[in-house]
Structure 1
Amino acid sequence: MYQSKPNYPPPHATGFPMSTNSEYYAPSMVPSALEIHTPPESVAWSTGLCDCCDDVGNCCMTCFCPCVTFGKIAEIVDKGSSSCGTSGALYTLIMCVTGCQCLYSCFYRSKMRALYSLQKRPCGDCCVHCFCEQCALCQEYRELKRRGFDMEIGWLANMEKQGYAAPTMPMPPPTQQGMTR
């Protein structure tokens, strides 16, 4: 004969995962991880890593002076909080002192991927920058360019060009002259 299981109340939450074999487990009552948080879909890069023929001028600049290309990328990715010159100079300093500028630039690739939900292709950000530094910088430059940025004018000019008002600096109060007779 068939015996039904007794109708016990569910156990108190302990914080420990329950096995699927438990008689108290009710899959319909527990949301899946996908229902709780679904990250945005990642999109492909607009150009491949080795598509340098798309912008020969930038390719040559990056080959001979990667600090300039990096500085332009960093200014846009940082949304103007760091200047092209400062980022490029820091890149050059790291390159001259340690030779590990690829670790600095891979940080910006990761930041850019997160900003635009780009795929981690063809491999991890550090691998791309350690083994193909110039190609990675060229790809990032092309990506920002295809997203509508004029890489030659910087962040603020791009925001003005796109119709966003530049933040205005408040005028200081007029200063008074020293004592007069």
Structure 2
Amino acid sequence: MPFSNQKLSPLAETSPGQWTTGLFNCREDVPTSFVACFCPCVTFGQNAEIISRGKTSCCKAGLISTLLLGFACFYTLRYRAKLRGHHSLPPAPCGDCLVHTFGLPLALCQEHRELKNRGFDPIIGWAANADKMMHQPGGAMKVPTISAMIR
């Protein structure tokens, strides 16, 4: 998980403060909407791996959300809050808890589209996204600089 604290894409810095897609715009990505409705643990796992910068695997996040059954919204909403924090997004159209409690498939689809619109592909996972960004022309990934301590 190298570079886990790095911003990966110039797209990740576009339009801070606003969602690129609405909560009810599921028709923009029908396959993801279908998966989120009938197997939300898969969509959540993919999103969580990207949002956590690879610290949580897709399988682990999906499994935990499945095991929590009716209480999964309390686990999944944390990742929505992290996504909002990464990109300075407002809690729209209402608070994260309400969105994940009463519209979990809608929220997962919106988060998945948001990640895609910001240059990530949740389906391929964190490692493949990091590798893809590292090998882009112009080097979109910023490698940290280490400064020496001077006394």
Do they fold alike, i.e. is TM over 0.5? yes
Q: Is the 8 A contact 1:42 1:119 kept in 2?
A: no
> What is the aligned partner in structure 2 of residue 52 from structure 1?
26
Question: Are 1:117 and 2:88 an aligned pair?
Answer: yes
**1-side partners of 2:83 and 2:47: how far apart?**
9
**1-side partners of 2:102 and 2:120: how far apart?**
27
**2-side partners of 1:42 and 1:130: how far apart?**
25
**1-side partners of 2:77 and 2:54: how far apart?**
19
**2-side partners of 1:93 and 1:136: how far apart?**
19
Question: Are 1:101 and 2:75 an aligned pair?
Answer: no
Give the counterpart letter for 2:20 in structure 1: S
Q: Secondary structure at the match of 1:153?
A: helix
**2-side partners of 1:48 and 1:138: how far apart?**
10
Question: Are 1:156 and 2:133 an aligned pair?
Answer: no
The structure having more radius of gyration, on CA atoms, is: 1
- Runs of 4+ in structure 1 displaced over 4 angstroms? none
Percent of pairs identical after alignment?
50
**2-side partners of 1:106 and 1:87: how far apart?**
12
1:18-48 C-alpha deviation (Å, 9 max, x unpaired): xxxxxxxxxxxxxxxxxxxxxxx96111000
Q: Specify whether residues 158 and 42 from structure 1 end up closer, same or farther in structure 2 by C-alpha distance, changes over 3 A only.
A: closer
1:70-128 C-alpha deviation (Å, 9 max, x unpaired): 00010001100111001000110001xxx111111111111110111001100110011
> What is the aligned partner in structure 1 of residue 99 from structure 2?
128
Q: Is the 8 A contact 1:52 1:135 kept in 2?
A: yes
1:58-73 correspondence runs (5 A): 58-73=32-47
Point out the structure with the larger helix share: 2
**2-side partners of 1:102 and 1:82: how far apart?**
17
Of 86, 89, 95, which aligns to 2:63? 89
1:20-31 correspondence runs (5 A): none
**Which one has more relative contact order, counting CA pairs under 8 Å at least 6 apart?**
2
Question: Are 1:76 and 2:50 an aligned pair?
Answer: yes
**2-side partners of 1:74 and 1:152: how far apart?**
11
Give the counterpart letter for 2:91 in structure 1: K
1:29-70 C-alpha deviation (Å, 9 max, x unpaired): xxxxxxxxxxxx961110000000000000000000000000
What is the TM-score of this pair, normalised by structure 2? 0.78
Q: Is the 8 A contact 1:75 1:155 kept in 2?
A: yes
Give the counterpart letter for 2:21 in structure 1: T
